[in-house]
Amino acid sequence: MSTFGLFGSFGIAGAMSASESSMETMGLLQSALEVAPTGELLAAEVATEVLAKTAARRDADCVDYTSQFKEYEDRGRFDATDIDGDRCSFYASAEGECGNYDDDDFVANEMCCSCGGGSTYKGARSLAVNEASVFLSEDSSCPSGFEPIATLSACRASLDLLGISGMDFNGVEDEADWPKGCYHCQNSGDCSNGVWFNSHETGAPVEGVRRVCHRNFNAEDVKVVFVGDSDIDYWDSSVGFHGSFNVGVGGYTTRDVRKEMGHLVAELAPKWVVLVCGENDITGDRRATSKALERFKKIVTKFIENGARVIYLGTKVEPDSKDIYPEYMHYDAQIREFAVETSKGKTEPPFVMIDVFRSFTKDFRNGSPKGSWTQLYNSDGLHMSQLGYKLWNAWVKVAMESPTPCIRWSSANCVEAA
C-alpha cells in the first residue's frame, strides 16, 4: 500500500475528531479533517453478495465510479482514496483486501469493480439515501424489484453513483419513442452519448439503450443536496455525505443554476444545500460580477424559502486565475455581507459561508497559497486535488454539526458568530 503524504499522512487508523485533526494533523491549513472507517458492505444475503460481485467482475462495462475524471489524473486526482491513498486500481490485484482500508470517502465494496462494486453494482449502497441501489440495466427495461428513475433530480444525482460526469447529462425531453425516465446512450444509433431524462408518460424501449434503474433512490428522502459547477460535479460527495444528491455540472454559471431552481425546489426538500457557483461568471468585468451576485442571492433565497439551510463554499485561489483574483475577492466580500444580512441574530443561520479563498491562502490579499499549488490543485490549475476535497468534506461537516451558530467559517474556525 502506498502512503498518501500531502500535508502529512492520511493513513490514520481509527476515528479522529474534527477538532483533533485541525489542531494536530492539519495545523498548516487549520482544517478539520475527519478520517473514519465506514466501509462495511450493507448486503443482506451472502449468496446475493457473491453473485453481485461475480457479475460485476465479469461485466466489461463496469466503471470504478470514483475515476470518472481520470483525464486530470496526471497530477492529483478527483477520485477518492482509501486510508493509505490507494484507489480502486490497487484492488484489481488485491481483491482479498476489499473493505480493509475504507475511510470517510472510500468504500471499496461499493465503489470498485474488482470488489464487486462500481457502476454495475446492484446491491444496497451505504452512501445512497436509504441504502439505495442505482445501476445501469443491460437494456431499456429494469429487472424485477427495481424501477426506472422517474424524477429529474434523481436522474441527475444518479450520475454521481454511476461514474458519469454531470457534463454528460444531455437534457430533458418529452418523446414517445424513447424510454421513460432516466436512460443512458453509448453509441446507440440516433441517440447522443450520455444521459437523458424523458418526461413522457409512457415512452418506449429502444434497442441498445440502457435504463437507469433504482430501488429506494427517492428524491423526497434526501436531506443534503450539492448544487453548482465543476467543483460540485467533481466532488465524490455522496461518499462523505451518505444519502445526499449531487446535481453539479461542470461549466455551470449562476444563470444555469437559477434555471434549474424550479425542478430542484419542486422535487426536493433538503435540510442542507451545499452550493458552489459564480466562478464561471467572473471574467474581470465588474458588471458581470454584479449580475452574478444578483442571481446568486436569488438562488440562495429560493432555497431558504423552500426550508433549506445553505452552505456556500467561496471562490478558490486558483493558480491559473490570478488575473481575476480582485473580482473573486469582491464577489466573496459581497456574499459575506449578504450572509450577515440573512443570518445575523438567528439561532440557526439559514445561510453560512465557508471562506475558501482565505482558508487556502496565507495572505489572501495577494493569493499566496498555503503549501504548494501541486498539493491543492490538479495540473489544469483550476480544479482541486483529492486533498482539497478532503478539506472541503471536513469543513462542511464542521459547519453542519457546529453546536454554536456561526455565519462565516475560515477552514474549521468560526470567524463570525450569528
11, part of any domain: no
Question: In terms of domains, do 205 and 70 share one?
Answer: no
15, part of any domain: no
- CATH of residue 270: 3.40.50.1110
Q: What percent of the chain has pLDDT over 70?
A: 80
The amino acid that residue 44 corresponds to is A
88, 106, 125: which is the final residue of a domain?
Answer: 125
Average pLDDT over residues 374-391: 82
Distance CA 134, CA 161 (A): 7
pLDDT bin (cut points 50, 70, 90) of residue 26 is: very low
96, 125, 154: which is the final residue of a domain?
Answer: 125
Spell out a b/e string for 9-45, using b for 16 or more CB atoms within 10 Å of the CB, else e.
Answer: ebbbeeebebeebbeebbeebebbbbbebbbebebee
Distance CA 360, CA 75 (A): 19
Distance CA 291, CA 314 (A): 17
Structural domain total, the chain: 3
28, part of any domain: no
Question: In terms of domains, do 224 and 204 share one?
Answer: no
Question: In terms of domains, do 296 and 321 share one?
Answer: yes
Q: What is the mean pLDDT of the chain?
A: 82
Is the pLDDT higher at 261 or at 131?
261
Question: In terms of domains, do 299 and 322 share one?
Answer: yes
Amino acid 184: pLDDT: 94
Question: In terms of domains, do 211 and 224 share one?
Answer: no
Question: In terms of domains, do 118 and 182 share one?
Answer: no
For 36-54, the pLDDT digits (tens) are 333 333 333 433 444 444 4
Question: In terms of domains, do 207 and 232 share one?
Answer: no
Q: Which structural domain, as residue segments, surrounds residue 318? A: 219-417
Question: In terms of domains, do 252 and 140 share one?
Answer: no
173, 197, 215: which is the final residue of a domain?
Answer: 215
For 276-296, the pLDDT digits (tens) are 999 999 999 999 999 999 999
Distance CA 278, CA 219 (A): 26
Handedness of CA 119, 125, 128, 134 (dihedral sign): positive
Question: In terms of domains, do 318 and 347 share one?
Answer: yes
For 162-184, the pLDDT digits (tens) are 888 889 999 999 999 999 999 99
33, part of any domain: no
Amino acid 368: pLDDT: 61
19, part of any domain: no
Q: Extract the runs of DSSP E, i.e. beta strands, from 278-374.
A: 309-313, 351-354, 361-363, 368-369
Burial (CB count within 10 angstroms: exposed 0-12, middle 13-18, buried 19+), residue 174: exposed
Give the pTM. 0.82
Question: In terms of domains, do 301 and 258 share one?
Answer: yes
Indicate the range of 35-44, 119-128, 406-415 predicted with least confidence: 35-44
Amino acid 366: pLDDT: 57
Question: In terms of domains, do 352 and 256 share one?
Answer: yes
For 235-278, the pLDDT digits (tens) are 888 888 988 999 999 999 999 999 999 999 999 999 999 999 99
For 72-120, the pLDDT digits (tens) are 655 556 777 899 989 899 999 999 999 999 987 789 999 999 999 988 8
Asked whether residue 153 carries a pLDDT value surpassing 90, the answer given is yes
8, part of any domain: no
Distance CA 376, CA 74 (A): 14
Indicate the range of 11-20, 47-56, 140-149, 188-197 predicted with least confidence: 11-20
